[in-house]
């Protein structure tokens, strides 16, 4: 235990604590037979001294080591993307004990202010926890997330369709809920391990996993529409902007597009905000569309592809919206 305390408060404070405990400045010597200097102390005095020297409360430390029969246990969970460290103490007592990890040749002290920490180190990286055995603890518990079946907790999270628009999945009172952008919360009913129905079959939600059984995407199916969302922590940098078109190219598409020839036919409005192209349909909010090529864009929320039509001079004359088996044409006004 004292070895762990030394790691927690540091060498200088630890040795100062020992000196003060053995030779307290305000102690009065007690003559006892042939022993010239004897004094009596107890655990509470040592704890008070330790807290004074450390400059922080240490009740959690001594509660775990002195008031419990079993020492703390460290639970280590390895996944494809990260490693979770969680302290388990009898009686579920707090234990914000930092710990040293040796990761890819470098040592670092990991704070665990609430008794847990997440290290962004996949299972493929070399990781040694507490290499110098500073922390007194029971046998570490290891868990490989890929060795167990999926649970509903694995599906909880936010899934990005495009920037600003996400699917949300959460648990409440033991039930799994789902919400699409601009919609209401709906309960998910399981069809199989990764497939769920929404509103008694009105729609379906399928969770996709990678080769390591990590949930990385969600597919929402309703009627003929299929919309995918990437789990928030799987979104790659520039995932939605793999092709970046210059502003002068985007400006060629800006304008109003008439769908059909009827007097009350709706207009589609294309606008530009900096390097983003947006489409607005009727009274709906404008949403971003993403370039696939210099004249083809992806409308992720519909979902559909927008093909801008040019004449022989390169002037944009209209657009064609292709969605599943349906094609809608619009003329630029």
- Which residues make Cβ contacts (< 8 Å) with residue 84, sequence separation at least 6? 75, 76, 77, 116, 117, 118, 119
pLDDT for 31: 53
The CATH number of the domain covering residues in 152-234: 2.40.128.50
pLDDT for 271: 96
Higher local confidence (pLDDT), 145 or 94: 94
Give the Cα separation of 180 and 159 in Å (integer).
10
Q: What is the chain's mean pLDDT, rounded?
A: 88
The residue ranges of every structural domain in the chain are 2-66, 73-147, 152-234, 247-332
Domains 73-147 and 152-234 share a fold: no
Give the Cα separation of 71 and 49 in Å (integer).
23
Count CB neighbours of 154 within 10 A: 17
| Residue 131 pLDDT greater than 80, yes or no | yes
pLDDT for 28: 59
| Residue 302 pLDDT greater than 70, yes or no | yes
pLDDT for 37: 61
For 113-142, give the DSSP string.
TTSEEEE---TTS-EEESTT--S--S--EE
CATH-assigned architecture of domain 247-332: Beta Barrel (2.40)
pTM score: 0.53
pLDDT for 36: 57
pLDDT for 138: 93
Lowest mean pLDDT among 6-10, 11-15, 232-236: 232-236
Task: Please give the helix or strand (H or E) that residue 319 lies within, else none.
Answer: strand 316-323
| Residue 109 pLDDT greater than 90, yes or no | yes
Domain covering 73-147, topology: Immunoglobulin-like (2.60.40)
Give the Cα separation of 5 and 37 in Å (integer).
27
Name the packing angle between helices 43-54 and 59-66 (round to 10°): 140
pLDDT for 23: 82
Q: Between vectors from CA 299 to CA 296 and to CA 301, what angle results, nearest 5°?
A: 170
- Taking only the tens place, the pLDDT of each residue in 170-225 is 999 999 999 999 889 999 999 988 999 997 778 999 999 876 678 899 999 988 78
pLDDT for 32: 52
Percent of the chain with pLDDT over 70: 92
Torsion sign across C-alpha atoms 205, 211, 212, 216: negative
| Residue 13 pLDDT greater than 80, yes or no | yes
Lowest mean pLDDT among 28-37, 194-203, 292-301: 28-37
Give the Cα separation of 136 and 116 in Å (integer).
17
Query: Which residues, in sequence order, are bridge partners of residue 82?
Result: none
- Taking only the tens place, the pLDDT of each residue in 236-282 is 877 777 788 999 999 999 999 998 776 666 789 999 999 899 999 88
- Taking only the tens place, the pLDDT of each residue in 57-69 is 999 999 999 999 9
Higher local confidence (pLDDT), 64 or 151: 64
């Amino acid at each position: 235990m004292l070895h762990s305390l030394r790691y927690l408060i540091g060498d200088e404070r630890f040795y100062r604590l020992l000196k003060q405990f053995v030779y307290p400045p305000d102690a009065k010597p007690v003559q006892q037979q042939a022993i010239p200097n004897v004094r009596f102390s107890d655990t509470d005095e040592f704890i008070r001294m330790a807290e004074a020297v450390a400059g922080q409360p240490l009740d959690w430390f001594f509660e775990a080591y002195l008031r419990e029969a079993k020492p703390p246990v460290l639970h280590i969970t390895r996944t494809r993307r990260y490693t979770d460290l969680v302290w388990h103490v009898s009686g579920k007592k707090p234990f914000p004990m930092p710990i040293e990890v040796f990761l890819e040749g470098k040592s670092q002290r990991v704070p665990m202010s609430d008794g847990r920490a997440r290290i962004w180190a996949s299972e493929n990286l070399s990781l040694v926890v507490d290499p110098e055995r500073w922390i007194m603890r029971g046998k570490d518990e290891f868990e490989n997330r890929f060795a167990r079946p999926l649970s509903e907790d694995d599906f909880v999270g936010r899934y990005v369709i495009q920037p600003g628009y996400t699917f949300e999945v959460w648990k409440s009172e033991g039930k799994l809920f789902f919400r699409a952008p601009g919609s209401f919360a709906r309960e998910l009913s399981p069809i199989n391990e990764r497939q769920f129905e929404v509103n008694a079959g009105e729609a379906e939600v399928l969770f996709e996993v990678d080769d390591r059984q990590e949930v990385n995407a969600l597919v929402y199916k309703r009627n003929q529409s299929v919309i995918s969302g990437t789990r928030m922590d799987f979104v790659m940098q520039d995932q939605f902007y793999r092709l970046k078109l210059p502003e002068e190219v985007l400006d060629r598409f800006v304008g109003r597009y008439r769908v059909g020839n009827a007097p009350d036919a709706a207009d589609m409005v294309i606008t530009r905000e900096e390097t983003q192209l947006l489409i607005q349909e009727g009274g709906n909010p404008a949403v971003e569309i993403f370039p696939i090529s210099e004249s083809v864009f992806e409308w992720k929320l519909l979902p559909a592809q927008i093909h801008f039509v040019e004449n022989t001079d390169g002037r944009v004359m209209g657009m064609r919206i292709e969605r599943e088996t349906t094609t809608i044409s619009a003329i630029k006004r």
